[in-house]
Homo-oligomer: A and B are copies of this chain.
Amino acid sequence: MKIVVLKFGGTSVGTVERIKRVAAIIIRFINKKYKVIVVSSAMSGVTNDLIKKSKELSTDFNSAEYDALVSSGEQMSCALIAGRLNHLGYKSRSWLAWQIPILTDGNHRSARINAIKTNNLKKYLNEGGVPIVSGFQGINSNKRITTLGRGGSDASAIMLAKYFKAKKCVIYTDVVGVMTTDPRVYKKAKKIKIISYEEMLEMASLGSKVMQSSSVQDARLNRIDIDVKSSFIKKDGTLITKRKNITNNKIITGISSTKNDAKITLVGIKDKPGIAASIFKPLSENNINVDMVVQNISADGKETDLTFTIKLEDLNKTQKLVKLNKIIKYKNLIIDKNVSKVSIIGVGMITTPGVTFRMFQALSKKNINILVISTSEIKISVLISKKYVKKAVSTLHKEFNLDSQDEH
């Protein structure tokens, strides 16, 4: 059985006309002899309207009721899609999370799929039906509706692909695919034709909003190919797949940049073992994510400077926690709110020496000063002054030949 999971995002089902287009896309797959499982988000706007109402009723709306409330949006869109397919002569029905069921654990508003009971859907697929599954939701052990948090419909689609051993999962959205860099930062950004899970994870965690990292990670663990494409234009999107399927010889696949970072430097702290841990432990306990870290040993080897970056939104909390910390002593605390992280990402750099040098040289030629550096196997990140972000991205995009081709 050749199974495909098709997931449609909120804008793709945002109007009656768009739902008609979605039905036509589904039929194309049926005609290609696929067994199709559809996952739909709520019509765009619906969920936001419901959230607005909940906020008007309570500044701290009950989480279980929030989930009951917002999950109604997917119920609508799924029924509308199934009704449309019926109208066109295809056997189809909506499957709500509780009817399948899709079981979750964890908290309301941010549950995780624990298991999908496949019997009901399998039977339905074998009868030739096209199930339209409500994304973004499941039920917990108390039979309460639980939602999966931001990007939850992607998670639903990937997990269905996993449980049904689907050949692939197509994520229909309102963008043409994953871009080499944010087009708002550099307008010559190109669509990436093929990208590895690992690169995508680095892109996603660094600000690319096409898919949530957890869904990419689930796809990676289960070896599910993901096609990200637009439901509005009939054109290839981006294939997210395993590394060995990537045969081109690009060094760099994409460039990401952040906004809203902050840099904190503790000047003149005693250099003794465990000092970094004693600073970062209380931050971690307060859900503050420390990103880049660098420690400079001073000339006499007794004192050290510690620099780290956090999200700007965590700055006040971080300052308080550092000041309350009685274990560490420092001479000065310097804050820089005007920093950004620019990263180049690519599995190609593993086999290509000198990428770091090329990156630093290109930035240096443009007089862009590097404040902090961090690297991983497939990524090199530099912290720079926020005002140089656009210049840095365009420089690196050209340096690594990302705007020299029509499309990647």
Residues in A lying within 8 Å of B, measured CB to CB: 16, 19-20, 50, 53-54, 56-62, 64-66, 68-69, 71-73, 75-76, 78-80, 82-84, 86-87, 93-94, 96, 98-99, 143-145
Count of this chain's copies in the oligomeric assembly: 2
What's the dominant secondary structure at chain A's contact region? helix
How far apart sit A73 and B61, CA to CA, in the bound complex (Å)? 19
How far apart sit A66 and B84, CA to CA, in the bound complex (Å)? 11
Partner pick for A56 among B16, B54, B58, B66, CB 8 A cutoff: B16
Partner pick for A57 among B20, B53, B54, B68, CB 8 A cutoff: B20
The reply to whether A76 and B69 contact each other, CB–CB distance below 8 Å, is: yes
Show 17 A/B contacts (Cβ-Cβ < 8 Å), sorted by A.
A16-B57, A54-B83, A57-B80, A58-B84, A58-B87, A59-B87, A60-B87, A65-B80, A65-B93, A66-B83, A68-B94, A69-B75, A69-B76, A72-B72, A72-B73, A72-B76, A99-B144
Partner pick for A54 among B62, B75, B80, CB 8 A cutoff: B80
How far apart sit A84 and B60, CA to CA, in the bound complex (Å)? 10
Complex: chain B residue closest to A73, CB-CB? B72
The reply to whether B75 and A62 contact each other, CB–CB distance below 8 Å, is: no
Residues of B within 8 A of A65 (CB): 79-80, 82-83, 86, 93-94
How far apart sit A96 and B67, CA to CA, in the bound complex (Å)? 13
Residues of B within 8 A of A93 (CB): 64-65
The reply to whether B86 and A62 contact each other, CB–CB distance below 8 Å, is: yes
Q: A64-B93, A86-B58, A87-B58 are in contact. Are A53 and B80 (CB under 8 A)?
A: yes
How far apart sit A145 and B94, CA to CA, in the bound complex (Å)? 10
Chain B nearest Cβ from A212, distance in angstroms: 24
How far apart sit A58 and B68, CA to CA, in the bound complex (Å)? 28
Q: A75-B75, A76-B50, A93-B64 are in contact. Are A83 and B56 (CB under 8 A)?
A: no
Complex: chain B residue closest to A61, CB-CB? B83
